[in-house]
Chain A
Amino acid sequence: MTDVAGKFTVEPFSASAEKRERFNRLLKKRYAAEARFKMWGIVAVSVAVVFLVLLLGSILLQGASAFSTTKVELELYLDPAVIDPQGTKDPQTIASADYNQILRASMSKLFPEVQGRRERRDMMSLLSSGAAYEVAGHVRDNPDLIGQTIRFEVLTDDLVDMLRKGYIERNVPEADRKLNDFQLGIYDKLVATGALGGAFNTELITTGDSREPENAGLWGAVVGSFLTLVVTLGIAFPLGVMAAVYLEEFAPKNRITDMIEVNINNLAAVPSIVFGLLGLAVFLNFFGMPRSAPVVGGLVLALQALPIIIIASRAAIKAVPPSIREAALGMGASPLQTVMHHTLPLSMPGMLTGAILGMAHALGETAPLLMIGMVAFIVDIPSGFSSPATVLPVQIYLWADSPERAFVEKTSAAIIVLLLFLISMNAIAIYLRKKFERKW
């Protein structure tokens, strides 16, 4: 030992010029390494930001135009002979009348020179196939208008909308165009008179899905998503919190609880499609629950969100200082009182964070819902937890799959709505969390 110590004596770095120089070299190297590390970090963050901006930018650019639609203002003579020949004023009769005849009459009046059967059909196809229903709805709601001449805006066909937004090229050969020269002529005349123009696309936000792009809306999917999430939250949050509290505070520490813990962690990593298959097998086939229903979707998503919520809740409970628990027990509180008075309120913000994560996950989930039939084409706005519904991500999937040019921008618009949904959900959760935190 002594000779070793004698052989290797440690001199301070200030001992000689050579040593000092080496020390400074090492120091420089160290600073350089630090600077390099920082730079790589900045590069990584920048790349991420660029991708995010590109993604959001492209979605916004593509989707923004979907929020406007093209309408044409027509002068409609609401002929009582067509709408309600008997004068019954019965809403059913009024609603089921042939409004296409009224629309045709109006258009003919606007363009008296169009005579040919074929031309007339081309002219009428510029209007949305849903236009007649719009008029019908309006008249049904205001039966006093029958017999009068009203100015009413009806939706145009999606091709007209595309033309107005510049997605249809005029200078390609007529045969390759979806709209022929005659239709372009009518369109130009309508634009010239000022009857045709853009308007905010309320349909997109207020109606359900449709095969016609100009009539297709997201409200059905939004309501479906909402109902599904209500079910998911209602099941997964209390179950997750209870499971976490039991496992953390009450369960004996033995092999069984260890196994449960491992399995819960594994469950969080199970592919979501497996949960869909499980839902299909258990909820639909075994329990015979309705297809395409938010209640089943919610159950499946609850299963998927449960492990995330349990893990986050356990972490939140673990983060509560044991000294608080000891204090409560030392005062004579029972274990349950300790949990209810102290542990749970203190860990609530963390649990809510877990719930936000789980819900956000569930909101964006598509695969398991495909398995339980929520991919169906559903026009009606879901009225309850068991009525057929679809959800936003599935709607996006469906629209992305549709061939019409107009659905391209609609898909992006739906993504925007989905993101807004997510952001507002998170905002609510963060607000709740802050509120809970401030209370303490």
Chain B
Amino acid sequence: MTTLDFTTHTVPLDGKAKISAKNVNLWYGEKQALHNINLEVGENQVTALIGPSGCGKSTFLRCLNRMNDTITSCRIQGDIRIDGDDIYAQALDVVHLRARVGMVFQKPNPFPKSIFENVAYGPRLHGLAESKDHMEHIVKSSLERAGLWKEVSDRLQSPGTGLSGGQQQRLCIARAIAVSPEVILMDEPCSALDPIATAKIEELIDELRENFTIAIVTHSMQQAARVSQRTAFFHLGVLVENGPTEGIFTNPVDKRTQDYVTGRFG
């Protein structure tokens, strides 16, 4: 392998940054997975992270709610702030962080419990509901916001795993928003879904943008183009280009971005 090109082209964010990452480096054991990442995620925007497999986009996403903590060989350096709070500070509790930063995963992974219990899990964990009625309200409104209420209102007690793939993923989104996070991270949320279910999720993402800041990792450039306002392109652990989605897909600055979005890699 030739030497890495560490240049980053950034079109500055106009508007408020919700998350700002500065000089983030990350190692898995001896191997460096992220090289000096500087990225801002705008408030109430959808920021798409794209790039080939193993480029570090998922790794970076997982830095934002410290899911990488569970990997013992993982070492991280740099500064990541949400609304100015350093999320890797000693004083900050990771449970607190994850209540602020929800996550939706690649494979729909509802708990093998009832639909109600799935959504109620987070609020129960963090003690958000004051009464049974309050909990029911939280569950209902979360399912409504996830666009699932109409489909499941008559079978809240049936298992969440019995839903279709797309419904399961929306259930996972409902579960994530039930604790009223500020940020929702999505790690390829549609990769296991059919186009109609994907379209529903994309529509949902667009609606959620009003209340949440969303960062989404996706392998589908079309999806990134459809749902995001800003796009960040990662390659070999380097943030190559970061700017408004339109610019990335019509007129990328960097040759690597150009090659990737036009399908000239490999």
Contacts and interface: CB of A to CB of B under 8 A. Distances in A.
A–B contact with Cβ pairs below 8 Å: the answer is yes
Interface residues of B, number: 28
B30 to A, nearest CB: 16
A331 B109 contact: no
B179 A331 contact: yes
A contact patch SS: helix
Contact of B122 (A321, A331, A440): A331
A336 to B, nearest CB: 12
Contacts of B67: 326, 329-330
Interface string A231-259: 00000000000000000000011000000
A324 B103 CA distance: 13
A127 interface: no
Q: Which of A332, A333, A334, A335 has the most CB atoms of chain B within a 10 A radius of its CB?
A: A332
B3 interface: no
Nearest to A337: B125
Contacts of A327: 105, 109-111, 172, 175
A346 interface: yes
A440 B112 CA distance: 6
Contacts of A333: 95, 125
Interface residues of A, number: 20
Interface in B135-179: 159, 172, 175-176, 179
A433 interface: no
Contact of B175 (A331, A335, A346): A331
A326 B113 CA distance: 16
A321 to B, nearest CB: 7
B122 A326 contact: no
A15 to B, nearest CB: 37
Nearest to B65: A330
A342 interface: yes
B72 interface: yes
A330 B105 contact: yes
Contact of B103 (A253, A330, A337): A330
A332 B126 contact: yes
Interface of A: 252-253, 321, 323-324, 326-335, 337, 341-342, 346, 440
Q: 10 shortest A-B CB distances, which residue pairs?
A: A332-B98, A323-B109, A330-B103, A440-B112, A327-B109, A332-B95, A331-B122, A332-B99, A323-B107, A333-B125
20 contacts: A323-B109, A326-B103, A326-B109, A327-B105, A327-B111, A327-B172, A329-B70, A330-B98, A330-B102, A330-B103, A330-B105, A331-B98, A331-B125, A331-B175, A331-B179, A332-B95, A332-B99, A332-B122, A341-B121, A342-B111
